[in-house]
């Protein structure tokens, strides 16, 4: 194996990490693995692939399997095969989103997402969408376009390579075998009772939530929950929100006709003493997004008091409450007063956004209205996933997964902090006691250039400004929001190196 192609740095420049699953079709698995290697940049454009024989021997598969996989990927446009030149990674496997959408004079931005696309809309597997497999993709010179980000340090998603496929499948099998027949008929808009029971128990134990299955409504995620609450007229605006937060949430609220009013932040969290005439406030108490601190106890008590006095309601977005590293978990505000707080949660960070499941834990007075907004039957959340998740939680697999990921993300957090201490000691880092992201504090006026410098290093990330409410007069300063969870494990070190290269050399006043 010393001469093995897979591990030969001279021939391909990096360890390919071609791992085929232990079971299932070899050909399909190899195609998938090669596609991913190209997409993630581990196999660079122009790289010559090993002869069928060598790769077949390395992987322990038949030579024809490799030949077929190569042929398929050539047909799909990922590879090219030329007489005398062998099989190589195509220079530019351009994703084509819609057939007929390839005008010669299209703006350059539409063509920059080859390789490892930064935009989720472009991150599908196969480049030649909607094109016959025999047509090779058009190859373009890349001169005019900026380099494709090779390191994804944007916040918001867990490590996709850590999805617990086997454990999930085992739970799905048990759940679907045991489910009563009626589970496959029209769904209860409240969600499966099995899942609501599992959530009631889990949320009480892990997050200090006080509820019962009858007050939980399953949905497809926190965004869906907000749409149901405001689009369904269960709640009405204006809604107070944190001055820094997810633009995505603000935009969907605006689209639902809800005005959002920014609430400034300080070191104790949102300034809930500044609440005005709003009747509802959306907070991230466990880990302010994106600045990173928890809402302090006196603020928690104050916001509950406000809700009681004003007949208002607190929307608690508990988006990453499971991931705390340096101290005991911070319980939910919901536990202080279940009749004044709507808890919103999902598995998007703890498990995967591919499982489109979330939940609302509701004060009793909202249950009927939320169910009415959902409709007579479940029209959104997959019942199969609901059954599987219920089994995943009750079997203990969810706890095991969260524990494993907490360790992994803590390790990444530590590596980020160590890398900064070594290579960019002038850069402060905050918000690292919890969660899947950290904030790197920058000298005033340097954020935009740091984001651009990161892009030149192939690093995709956002500055704090991207999360600022357009109407706030508060300024959280300059900073980079670094998602530690997104890259696959083997790519994290390189991402940190690229990040450090992009940071400004001097701290303010030093």
Q: State the helix-helix crossing angle for 63-76 and 52-59, rounded to 10 degrees.
A: 120
Give me the least distance between CB of 70 and a copy of itself, in Å please.
Answer: 17
For a copy of itself, the closer of residues 69 and 503 by Cβ is: 69
Verify binding: residue 223, a copy of itself, rule CB under 8 A.
Answer: yes
Q: Which residues contact 327 (CB under 8 A, 6 or more apart)?
A: 433
CA atoms of 338 and 357, how far apart (whole Å): 22
CA atoms of 45 and 103, how far apart (whole Å): 24
Question: Which of these, 451, 493, 469, 504, lies nearest to 118 by C-alpha position?
Answer: 451
Give me the least distance between CB of 223 and a copy of itself, in Å please.
Answer: 5
> Segment 33-72, which members bind a copy of itself (CB under 8 A)?
35-36, 39
Verify binding: residue 94, a copy of itself, rule CB under 8 A.
Answer: no
> Segment 269-288, which members bind a copy of itself (CB under 8 A)?
none
For a copy of itself, the closer of residues 190 and 243 by Cβ is: 190
Verify binding: residue 24, a copy of itself, rule CB under 8 A.
Answer: yes
Using CB under 8 A, which of the segments 1-9, 18-26, 44-52, 460-468 binds a copy of itself? 18-26
Give me the least distance between CB of 216 and a copy of itself, in Å please.
Answer: 9
Verify binding: residue 490, a copy of itself, rule CB under 8 A.
Answer: no
Burial of 425 (0-12, 13-18, 19+ CB in 10 A): exposed
Verify binding: residue 425, a copy of itself, rule CB under 8 A.
Answer: no
Verify binding: residue 160, a copy of itself, rule CB under 8 A.
Answer: yes
Give me the least distance between CB of 379 and a copy of itself, in Å please.
Answer: 5
In the set 199, 486, 492, 499, which binds a copy of itself (CB under 8 A)? Answer: 486
CA atoms of 381 and 161, how far apart (whole Å): 24
Cβ atoms of residues 279 and 314 within 8 Å:
no
> Segment 100-139, which members bind a copy of itself (CB under 8 A)?
100-101, 119-126, 129-131
Show the tokens assigned to 327.
């101290």
Give me the least distance between CB of 378 and a copy of itself, in Å please.
Answer: 7
In the set 6, 14, 18, 28, which binds a copy of itself (CB under 8 A)? Answer: 28
> Segment 173-202, which members bind a copy of itself (CB under 8 A)?
173-174, 176-190, 192-194, 196-197
CA atoms of 226 and 140, how far apart (whole Å): 43
Using CB under 8 A, which of the segments 25-33, 135-143, 414-422, 496-504 binds a copy of itself? 25-33
Written as one string, the DSSP assignment of 7-44 is T-HHHHSS-------SSS-HHHHHHHHHHHHHHTTSS-
CA atoms of 154 and 501, how far apart (whole Å): 17
Question: Which of these, 123, 108, 130, lies nearest to 41 by C-alpha position?
Answer: 123
Dihedral, CA of residue 360, residue 172, residue 379 and residue 351, to nearest 10: 40
Verify binding: residue 375, a copy of itself, rule CB under 8 A.
Answer: yes
For a copy of itself, the closer of residues 315 and 389 by Cβ is: 389
Written as one string, the DSSP assignment of 314-376 is EEEE-TTTT-B-SSPPP--GGGG-TTTEEEEEESTTTT-TTS--EEEE--HHHHHHHHHHH-S
Give me the least distance between CB of 71 and a copy of itself, in Å please.
Answer: 18
For a copy of itself, the closer of residues 216 and 261 by Cβ is: 216
> Segment 236-255, which members bind a copy of itself (CB under 8 A)?
248, 252
Verify binding: residue 380, a copy of itself, rule CB under 8 A.
Answer: yes
Name the strand (E) or helix (H) holding 52. Answer: helix 52-59
In the set 12, 16, 29, 258, which binds a copy of itself (CB under 8 A)? Answer: 29
Q: How many C-beta atoms surround the C-beta of residue 139 within 10 A?
A: 14
- The alpha-helical segments, DSSP class H, found in 341-478 are 364-374, 383-394, 397-423, 447-456
In the set 65, 155, 220, 288, which binds a copy of itself (CB under 8 A)? Answer: 220
For a copy of itself, the closer of residues 295 and 485 by Cβ is: 485
Using CB under 8 A, which of the segments 273-281, 309-317, 323-331, 362-370 binds a copy of itself? 362-370
For a copy of itself, the closer of residues 271 and 356 by Cβ is: 356
Verify binding: residue 418, a copy of itself, rule CB under 8 A.
Answer: no
């Amino acid at each position: 194996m010393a001469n093995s192609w897979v591990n030969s740095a001279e021939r391909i420049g990096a360890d390919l990490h071609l791992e085929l699953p232990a079971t299932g079709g070899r050909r399909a698995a190899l195609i998938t693995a090669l596609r991913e290697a190209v997409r993630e940049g581990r196999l660079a454009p122009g790289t010559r692939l090993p002869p069928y024989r060598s790769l077949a021997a390395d992987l322990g598969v038949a030579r024809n399997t490799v030949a077929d996989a190569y042929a398929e990927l050539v047909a799909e446009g990922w590879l090219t095969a030329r007489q005398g030149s062998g099989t190589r990674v195509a220079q530019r496997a351009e994703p084509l989103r819609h057939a007929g959408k390839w005008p010669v004079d299209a703006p350059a931005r539409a063509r920059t997402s080859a390789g490892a696309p930064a935009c989720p809309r472009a991150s599908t597997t196969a480049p030649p969408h909607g094109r016959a497999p025999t047509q090779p993709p058009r190859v373009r010179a890349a001169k005019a376009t900026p380099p494709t980000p090779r390191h994804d340090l944007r916040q918001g998603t867990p490590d996709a390579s850590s999805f617990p496929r086997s454990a999930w499948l085992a739970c799905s099998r048990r759940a679907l075998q045991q489910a009563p027949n009626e589970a496959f008929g029209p769904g209860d808009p409240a969600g499966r009772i099995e899942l609501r029971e599992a959530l009631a128990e889990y949320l009480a134990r892990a997050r200090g939530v006080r509820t019962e299955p009858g007050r939980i409504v399953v949905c497809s995620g926190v965004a869906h929950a907000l749409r149901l609450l405001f689009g369904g007229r269960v709640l009405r605006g204006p809604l107070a929100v944190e001055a820094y937060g997810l633009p995505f949430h603000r935009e969907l609220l605006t689209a639902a006709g809800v005005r959002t009013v920014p609430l400034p932040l300080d070191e104790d969290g949102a300034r809930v003493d500044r609440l005005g005439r709003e009747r509802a406030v959306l907070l991230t108490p466990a880990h302010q997004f994106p600045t990173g601190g928890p809402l302090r106890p006196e603020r928690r008590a104050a916001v509950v008091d406000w809700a009681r006095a004003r007949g208002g309601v607190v929307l608690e977005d508990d988006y990453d409450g499971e991931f705390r590293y340096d101290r005991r978990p911070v319980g939910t505000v919901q536990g202080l007063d279940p009749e004044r707080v709507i808890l919103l949660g999902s598995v998007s960070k703890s498990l995967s956004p591919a499982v489109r499941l979330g939940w609302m834990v509701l004060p009793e007075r909202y249950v009927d209205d939320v169910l009415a907004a959902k409709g007579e039957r479940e029209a959104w959340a997959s019942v199969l996933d609901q059954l599987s998740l219920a089994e995943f939680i009750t079997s203990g697999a969810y706890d095991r997964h969260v524990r494993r990921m907490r360790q992994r993300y803590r390790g990444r957090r530590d590596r980020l902090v160590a890398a900064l201490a070594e290579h960019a000691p002038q850069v402060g880092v905050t918000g690292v006691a919890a969660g899947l992201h950290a904030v790197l504090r920058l000298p005033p006026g340097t954020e935009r250039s740091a984001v651009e410098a990161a892009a030149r290093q192939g690093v995709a990330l956002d500055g704090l400004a991207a999360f600022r409410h357009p109407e706030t007069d508060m300024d959280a300063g300059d900073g980079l929001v670094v998602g530690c969870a997104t890259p696959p494990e083997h790519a994290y070190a390189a991402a940190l190196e690229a990040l450090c290269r992009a940071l400004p050399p001097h701290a303010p006043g030093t």
